[in-house]
Amino acid sequence: MPGVDQPAPSCAAALARGLLDPERAPPAALRLEDAHRYDVYRNNITVSLIDALATIYPAVQRITGESFFRAMARSYARRSPPTSPLLFDYGRAFADFIATYEHARDMPWLADVARIERAWLDAYHAADAPPLTPEALAAVPHGALGDVVLTPHPATRVVRSPFPALTIFAANRADAPVGAITATEPEDALITRPLLEVTVGPLPPGGATFLSSLAAGEPLGRAAGLAFADAPAFDLAANLAGALAAGAFTALR
């Protein structure tokens, strides 16, 4: 633009590289007053990313406390710059980062709580689609049920955990004070949004294998077989009815 100094390409690259690295000195080409502005801008970017993570993962922040969370989020932000202009899309690898974060080792379930929170947000922003009705499935001839392939709702997510992550998530997303959590068993969660509200609920034994297999395109009979192999107590009728009631699917073929 005429009359306005533009940074050279090499300077622009140096500016970008240092935005999330407070240890990196401002590019030498900057004047002293511009270097100060650069430091302020760099700090503002990091704070905005931390704030975005706090909005996406409120239960994780409530569990850890604000100071711990912001320190963890700052460490993540410095290693993982955003790849999308949409802040709600930031932090998709945050749960994996938590799983390796040294200071969270005494909370091994925290990463799975974060995975449920990420699934909740993704379900909230998923496309709308009418859920499959029980009547549509009942119209399929009995002998053909095993070959039916179901189309998952865009909002459907399944999160598996060897910890009671769903109970911990639910307790820390509510407004009420968190009481003692006595659950110790592994929990699998189904996250859907058939209409306007995101719902998060537990899955019975074999349910996660069943729904994940169906969502991957396996026919009903094959998915049921995999679920029985995973959990001999798997109840096909109950799991299928629960999935339809939750709006986990939109169509069948």
**The predicted structure's pLDDT at residue 4:** 43
Give the residue numbers spanning the domain of 169.
127-253
Q: Are residues 99 and 137 in the same domain?
A: no
Residue 70 in any domain: the answer is yes
Spatial separation of the C-alpha atoms in residues 76 and 220, rounded to whole Å: 40
Domains held by the chain: number: 2
pLDDT recorded at residue 14: 46
Is 63 strand, coil or helix?
helix
Indicate if 59 and 170 belong to the same structural domain.
no
Would residue 12 count as lying in a domain? Answer: yes
Span 43-89, pLDDT tens digits: 678 888 999 999 999 999 999 999 999 999 999 998 888 888 888 88
Task: Specify the DSSP class assigned to residue 178.
Answer: P
H or E element that contains 160: strand 157-161
Please check whether residues 136 and 32 belong to one and the same domain.
no
What is d(CA 188, CA 108) in angstroms, rounded to the nearest whole number? 16
Q: What share of the chain is helix, strand, coil (3-state, %, to 5)?
A: 55, 10, 40
- Which of 107, 135, 166 is the last residue before a domain boundary? 107
Q: List pLDDT tens digits, range 7-19.
A: 444 444 444 454 5
- The model's pLDDT over 186-202, given as tens digits with 9 standing for 90+, comes to 999 999 998 889 999 99
Would you say 169 and 116 are in contact if contact means Cβ atoms under 8 Å apart?
A: yes
Last residue of a domain, one of 72, 107, 142: 107
Q: Rounded to whole angstroms, how far apart are CA atoms 120 and 234?
A: 26
Cβ atoms of 23 and 78 within 8 Å: the answer is: no
80 and 179 fall within a common domain: no
Task: Indicate if 84 and 149 belong to the same structural domain.
Answer: no
pLDDT in tens, 113-135: 999 999 999 999 999 999 999 99
Shared domain for 76 and 168, answered yes or no, is: no
What DSSP letter does each residue of 238-252 carry, written as one string? HHHHHHHHTT-EEEE
Same domain, 135 and 97: no
76 and 184 in a single domain? The answer is: no
Give the model confidence (pLDDT) of 133-190 as tens digits: 999 999 999 999 999 999 999 999 999 999 999 999 999 998 878 888 888 999 999 9
Question: Same domain, yes or no, for 166 and 51?
Answer: no
